Amino acid sequence: MLCVKEELEMAKRIITISREFGSGGRFIGEEVAKKLGIAYYDKNIISQIAEKSGLSPEYIQESAELSPKKGLLAYALAGRDITGKSVEDMVYEVQRKVILELAEKEPCVIIGRNADFILKDRDDVLNVFIHGDMPEKIQRIMRLYKVNEQEAIKMMADTDKRRRTNYDFYTDQKWGKASNYTLCLNSSQIGYDRCEKIIVECVKQKFASCKVEKSMI
**Per-residue model confidence as pLDDT tens digits over 95-113:** 999 999 999 999 999 999 9
pLDDT bracket for residue 65 (50, 70, 90): confident
Residue 122 has pLDDT above 70, yes or no: yes
- Predicted local distance difference test score (pLDDT) of residue 71: 55
Residue 25 has pLDDT above 70, yes or no: yes
Q: Which residue has the higher pLDDT, 14 or 4?
A: 14
* Domains of the chain with bracketed CATH: 4-44+108-216 (3.40.50.300)
Distances, alpha carbon 217 to alpha carbons 7, 160, 210, 213, 214, in Å: 19, 43, 11, 7, 5
Question: Cα–Cα distance between 150 and 173 in angstroms, integer?
Answer: 30
